[in-house]
């Protein structure tokens, strides 16, 4: 399914804080994520179904997983969908423990409590040494984010140069990476993307 088809098929439920990325941004993000992977990588898209759809549409990986609360998205890829509720941060398949190479997460709520619960899961599933985290959130809570995501493998955070775009949401958003060099992501878009494909 393409991102355009997905955006038509799945309306945003604002009670669940669902604001979909624009097709252009989701595609750009997917290509950057893919550039961090090998063919055997495991990638967990947490709370960001549009990013998962764009990733699987442009350059699918067997090891891609979608961890999401909204069960509507199970139909996208039944074997890759993992029900995830941030209020049950320890509830995830054992096979993910310490094995995920890249986590992409867009926490639904812009507060410390939500991020603490998300972190509890991420720290359990991310590979302890080679794991990378891409975090999408609002710069309005940047100080909180830097304080919480403060050490490997989830930090310290480096703000990328990616401009995060949503279809219906005009709020300022940004993207941070947990590894040295993440700050270069998005600096020279077309050049880097050309090199990674
Ligand atoms: C801010 S949206 C991010 C979506 C992203 N912009 C995209 O286009 O893919 C947050 C996501 O968190 C999910 N969510 C809402 N409540 C949740 C919960 N309790 N646990 C886990 N995820 C939740 C929503 O369904 C939504 O997909």
Looking at the structure of the chain, the number of domains it has is: 1
Q: Is the pLDDT of residue 107 over 50?
A: yes
Number of the ligand 1 atom closest to the C-alpha atom of 16: 15
Residues linked to residue 132 through DSSP beta bridges, in sequence order: 102
Q: Is the pLDDT of residue 103 over 90?
A: yes
In-domain check, residue 93 = yes
In-domain check, residue 158 = no
Reported as a single tens digit per residue, the pLDDT across 4-32 is 999 999 999 999 999 999 999 999 999 99
Tell me how far apart the alpha carbons of residues 1 and 193 are, in angstroms, rounded to a whole number.
Answer: 22
In-domain check, residue 164 = no
In-domain check, residue 163 = no
Backbone angles phi, psi at 102, to 5 degrees: -135, 125
Q: Give the range of the structural domain holding residue 84, as residue numbers without chain letter.
A: 3-130+138-153+169-196
Per DSSP (E only), the strands in 139-184 are: 158-159, 174-177
**Could you give the maximum distance between any two Cα atoms of the chain, in Å?**
41
Query: pLDDT at position 189, please?
Result: 64
In-domain check, residue 58 = yes
Report the separation in Å between the CA atom of 195 and the middle of ligand 1, taken as the mean of its atom positions.
Answer: 31
In-domain check, residue 126 = yes
Query: pLDDT at position 126, please?
Result: 98
DSSP-derived pairing of the beta strands 132-137 and 174-177: antiparallel
In-domain check, residue 64 = yes
Q: For residue 101, is it left (φ>0), alpha (ψ between -120 and 50) or beta?
A: alpha
Q: What is the total residue count of the chain?
A: 197
Number of the ligand 1 atom closest to the C-alpha atom of 87: 19
Best probe residue, ligand 1, of 1, 72, 86, 108 (max atoms within 8 Å of C-beta) = 108
With cut-offs at 50, 70 and 90, classify the pLDDT of residue 119: very high
Reported as a single tens digit per residue, the pLDDT across 68-101 is 999 999 999 999 999 999 999 999 999 999 999 9
Reported as a single tens digit per residue, the pLDDT across 170-186 is 789 999 999 999 999 99
Ligand 1, atom 9: closest residue by C-alpha: 48
In-domain check, residue 91 = yes
Task: Tell me the CATH number at 15.
Answer: 3.40.50
């Amino acid at each position: 399914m393409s991102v355009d088809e997905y955006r038509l098929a799945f309306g945003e439920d604002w009670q669940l804080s669902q604001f979909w990325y624009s097709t252009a941004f989701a595609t750009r993000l997917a290509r950057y994520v893919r550039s961090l992977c090998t063919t055997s990588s495991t990638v967990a898209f947490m709370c960001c179904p549009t990013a998962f759809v764009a990733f699987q549409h442009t350059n699918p990986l067997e090891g891609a997983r979608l961890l999401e609360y909204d069960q509507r998205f199970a139909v996208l890829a039944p074997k890759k969908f993992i029900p995830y509720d941030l209020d049950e941060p320890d509830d995830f398949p054992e096979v993910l423990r310490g094995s995920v190479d890249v986590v992409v997460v867009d926490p639904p709520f812009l507060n410390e409590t939500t991020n603490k619960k998300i972190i509890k899961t991420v720290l359990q599933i991310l590979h302890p040494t080679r794991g990378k985290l891409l975090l999408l959130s609002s710069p309005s809570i940047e100080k909180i984010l830097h304080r919480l995501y403060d050490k490997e493998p989830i930090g310290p955070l480096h703000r990328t140069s990616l401009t995060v775009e949503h279809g219906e949401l005009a709020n300022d958003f940004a993207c941070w990476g947990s590894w040295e060099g993440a700050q270069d992501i998005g600096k020279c878009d077309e050049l880097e993307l050309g090199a990674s494909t």
